[in-house]
């Protein structure tokens, strides 16, 4: 980063950003970065995955053009800013790298081991982890002061929030530069301490788990619980419907992170949630969760998991 740009720009003159992992989140992150004017290097483990990520970006931006929410020229320019690779060498000129590979601490640490030697010394690394300790990940890099959590929400292009999580070692300069990037994306940065599930998931997932307990205990049925929370708490989506949308396996894994990370029994996953995941009823992505999505409109899918 050149010193003059660093003094002027809120994002400390960051212009080239690497994105590791071209899946659901990495594809969305690469898209919003490119639309905001950053040069993006999108990387994944196979040519097929990286191409799928790029195709997803092209399809989403194409839909915006069709709906006249984006100019065709702007769309072409944004796509032109993205280059793809299966190697780490293209990160050699990046000012920032955002890691958004699968949620596995071993995989993430191996990635940092490979990427750190390639990066410029002053480059910042961020992780999009939802649940792994940012401080632990920072300690597996050669730059714990230039490392932090940058937790985007799904779907990235639509959701306005990015949670910023400082590791214990993160410098003020790093946080300021990453905040500048979030602002340039037109999103809002909210800081969270590095505790299990950060702010949004810490509050949202226990609510979904509690809705599943209410179903399990027979307090209401699928439809009444969702309708009650929509009408009574003004939620746009009922909690069971939302659990299906997020993926019941993801909901279970976040509840387990909270339960194990805090050793507090209030976060114990509902046995019914565990059974649905064991049955392969993962929500929308598997076609069936608390609702069956193979019919239009979806119908309730409920099996009792208690002796009557
Ligand atoms: N899905 C969500 O709602 C959500 C929301 C916020 C944060 N996150 C976090 O974002 C990250 C990615 O989640 P996702 O939903 O995009 O997962 P995903 O499974 O859609 O994508 C993960 C991608 O990582 C790639 N990958 C695996 N190993 C890799 C490696 N060594 N190098 C490069 N790429 C590798 C995979 O090939 C895959 O394309 C996770 O840490 C997750 O916790 C997810």
What average pLDDT does the chain have? 95
Domain-by-domain residue ranges, the chain?
3-192, 202-300
Which of 23, 32, 205, 248 to mutate to test ligand 1, by most ligand atoms within 8 A of the CB atom? Answer: 23
Residues in the chain: 308
Q: Are strands 124-127 and 147-152 parallel, antiparallel or unpaired?
A: parallel
The answer to whether 305 touches 272, Cβ cutoff 8 Å, is yes
Ligand 1 near 87 CB (within 6 A) = no
Q: Are strands 161-166 and 147-152 parallel, antiparallel or unpaired?
A: antiparallel
d(CA 3, CA 173): 13
pLDDT above 80 for 8: no
- Any idea which fold 202-300 has? 1.10.1040
Backbone φ, ψ for residue 169 (5° rounding) = -95, -5
- Over residues 45-95, the pLDDT tens digits come to 999 999 999 999 999 999 999 999 999 999 999 999 999 999 999 999 999
Report the run of H or E that residue 66 belongs to, with start and end. Answer: helix 47-66
d(CA 66, CA 60): 10
Q: How far is the CA of 27 from the centre of ligand 1 (A)?
A: 9
From start to end of 10-120, where are the E strands?
16-20, 39-43, 82-85, 96-99
Is 15 in a helix, a strand, or coil? coil
Active site residues: 130, 151, 163, 201
Q: How far is the CA of 306 from the centre of ligand 1 (A)?
A: 35
Q: Whose CA is nearest to atom 30 of ligand 1?
A: 45
The structure's pTM equals 0.92
Q: What is the pLDDT of residue 305?
A: 81
- Over residues 113-126, the pLDDT tens digits come to 999 999 999 999 99
What confidence category does residue 304 fall into, taking pLDDT thresholds of 50, 70 and 90?
A: confident
Distance of CA 81 to the CA centre of its chain: 22
The answer to whether 283 touches 252, Cβ cutoff 8 Å, is no
- Over residues 19-32, the pLDDT tens digits come to 999 999 999 999 99
Biggest alpha carbon–alpha carbon distance for the chain: 71
Q: What is the pLDDT of residue 303?
A: 87
Q: What is the CATH number of domain 3-192?
A: 3.40.50.720
pLDDT above 80 for 1: no
What confidence category does residue 10 fall into, taking pLDDT thresholds of 50, 70 and 90?
A: confident
Q: Which atom of ligand 1 is least distant from the CA of 107?
A: 31
Q: What average pLDDT does the segment 100-106 reach?
A: 94
Ligand 1 near 31 CB (within 6 A) = no
What confidence category does residue 291 fall into, taking pLDDT thresholds of 50, 70 and 90?
A: very high
- Over residues 219-244, the pLDDT tens digits come to 999 999 999 999 999 999 999 999 99
pLDDT above 70 for 5: no
Q: Which atom of ligand 1 is least distant from the CA of 152?
A: 6
Q: Which position has the higher pLDDT, 15 or 4?
A: 15
Ligand 1 near 102 CB (within 6 A) = yes
Ligand 1 near 103 CB (within 6 A) = yes
- Over residues 163-180, the pLDDT tens digits come to 999 999 999 999 999 999
The three-state (H, E, C) secondary structure of 204-268, written as one string: HHHHHHHHHHHHHCCCCCHHHHHHHHHHHHCCCCCHHHHHHHHCHHHHHHHHHHHHHHHCCHHHC
Q: What is the pLDDT of residue 29?
A: 98
Q: How far is the CA of 20 from the centre of ligand 1 (A)?
A: 9
Q: What is the pLDDT of residue 23?
A: 95
Q: What is the pLDDT of residue 4?
A: 53
Q: What is the pLDDT of residue 7?
A: 55
**What share of the chain has pLDDT > 70, as a percent?**
97
Q: What is the pLDDT of residue 138?
A: 98
- 4-8, 14-18, 105-109: the lowest-pLDDT one: 4-8
d(CA 211, CA 231): 15
Q: What is the pLDDT of residue 77?
A: 98
Ligand 1 near 8 CB (within 6 A) = no
């Amino acid at each position: 980063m050149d010193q003059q740009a660093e003094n002027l720009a809120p994002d400390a003159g960051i212009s080239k950003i690497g994105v590791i992992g071209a899946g659901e989140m990495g594809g969305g992150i690469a898209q919003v970065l490119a639309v905001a004017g950053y040069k993006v290097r999108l990387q994944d483990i196979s040519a097929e995955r990286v191409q799928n990520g790029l195709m997803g970006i092209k399809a989403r931006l194409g839909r915006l053009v069709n709906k006249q929410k984006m100019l065709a020229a702007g769309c072409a320019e944004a796509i032109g800013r993205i280059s793809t690779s299966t190697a780490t060498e293209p990160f050699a000129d990046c000012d920032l790298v955002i890691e958004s590979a699968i949620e596995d601490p071993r995989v993430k640490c191996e990635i940092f081991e490979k990427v750190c030697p390639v990066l410029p010394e002053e480059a910042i690394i961020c992780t999009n982890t939802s649940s792994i300790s940012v401080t632990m990940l920072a300690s597996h890099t050669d730059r714990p002061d230039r490392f932090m959590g940058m937790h985007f929400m799904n779907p990235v292009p639509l959701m306005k929030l990015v949670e910023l999580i400082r590791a214990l070692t993160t410098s003020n300069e790093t946080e300021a530069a990453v905040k500048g990037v979030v602002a340039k994306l037109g999103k809002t940065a909210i800081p969270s301490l590095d505790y299990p599930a950060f702010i949004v998931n810490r509050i949202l997932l226990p609510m979904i788990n509690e809705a599943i307990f209410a179903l399990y205990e027979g307090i209401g049925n699928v439809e009444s619980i969702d309708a009650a929370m929509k009408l009574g708490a003004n939620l746009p989506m009922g909690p069971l419907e939302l659990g299906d949308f997020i993926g019941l396996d993801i909901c279970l894994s976040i509840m387990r992170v909270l339960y194990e990370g805090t050793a507090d029994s209030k976060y114990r996953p509902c046995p019914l949630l565990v059974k649905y995941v064991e049955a392969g009823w993962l929500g929308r992505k598997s076609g069936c969760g608390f609702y069956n999505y193979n019919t239009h409109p979806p119908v309730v899918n409920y099996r009792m998991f208690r002796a009557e």
